[in-house]
Structure 1
Amino acid sequence: MGHFTDMCTAISMNPIAREGYWEFLAGVTRSLNISYLKAVPIGTTVRIRATVVQHGRTMALITASMESRDGKVVYATAEHHKVHVPALPEYARRMREWRERRGIAKL
């Protein structure tokens, strides 16, 4: 759940990301608190919902839950606090070039 939560919460920041503001996978984890509520049966397909609760210039809070496909069973919940760390100029340049080569929209 920790890995999935980290990835899904980072992706949930994409709609607000722009150059210089929460770019490049939404910063780093300050704290990640996961509560496991129920075991997921083997072979079960789950849905992870992530919601950006608050975002500012340097800090963000995202909540997430792992649920059954129909949303009736909650297997785990999470609270993820993130800190924006500006990308190094060289890394930012390479990421822009990589996106341009693939025709991916700018941030």
Structure 2
Amino acid sequence: MGDNNDRYAAAFEEFEKLSPEDRLRAVLSIRAPNDQRFTSAFVEQQCKLRDVKITGPNRSLVTFAFRVERWYCNASGTLHGGAQATIYDIATSMAMQAIGKRDFWINGGVSRVLTVTYLRPAPEGEELLLECDVVHMGKKLAMVKGTLRRASDGAIISTCDHNKAAVPTKPGMPRL
């Protein structure tokens, strides 16, 4: 287990050295070709990093872009509410990874409460922007706000409040 601990520690150390933009590019570049999960398809194929701004200590504003694919649509041909909630969960967690430190949010934590408010539909093919505002990252709890907009005119599709709790990087992995 010692070799694995050393390997994990080295990987986290290298990840911490990256700029916030490079951290997110690294996360988005992970490939699992045999993984058929919705989350893998979104991260690997659709989600594109647009902008990263550090807005204060333990705060950031990250913007992602994606197109509404049929895979994410309901029977009405619009972005499914459950898909939106999952996309918020993924993206707000990645926004935290941009600025987290070892044993301090580097894995994005786990959800406590994810509230999504839906305002208007986003039809298949629509280009969207997802802004993730890391409002607060304390030692154990964090708050991230998300806003999903049409890229064409900035109209708000939905918003989210995501409350998160810090956890060890992976059950059984050493705390670094």
Q: Where do 1:1-107 residues align within 5 Å?
A: 1-24=84-107, 26-88=108-170, 90-91=172-173
Moved segments of 4+, more than 4 Å? none
Distance 1:68 1:27, change over 3 A: same
Per-residue CA deviations over 1:67-101 (Å, capped at 9, x if unaligned) read 011452100000000000123575359xxxxxxxx
Deviation at 1:41, TM superposition (A): 1.9
TM-score, normalised to structure 2's length? 0.49
Per-residue CA deviations over 1:23-80 (Å, capped at 9, x if unaligned) read 22x1110000000000112210111110001110000000001101145210000000
In structure 1, give the amino acid aligned to 2:94: I
Point out the structure with the larger helix share: 2
- In structure 2, relative to structure 1, the CA distance for the partners of 1:18 and 1:12 (3 Å cut) is same
Aligned equivalents of 1:91, 1:71: Cα separation in 2: 45
C-alpha distance in structure 2 between counterparts of 1:28 and 1:5, whole Å: 13
Query: Which runs of 5 or more residues in structure 1 are unaligned?
Result: 94-107
TM-score in terms of structure 1 length:
0.78
Instruction: Tell me the C-alpha RMSD between the 2 structures.
Output: 2.0
State the percentage of identical aligned residues: 26
Unaligned runs of 5+ in 2: 1-83
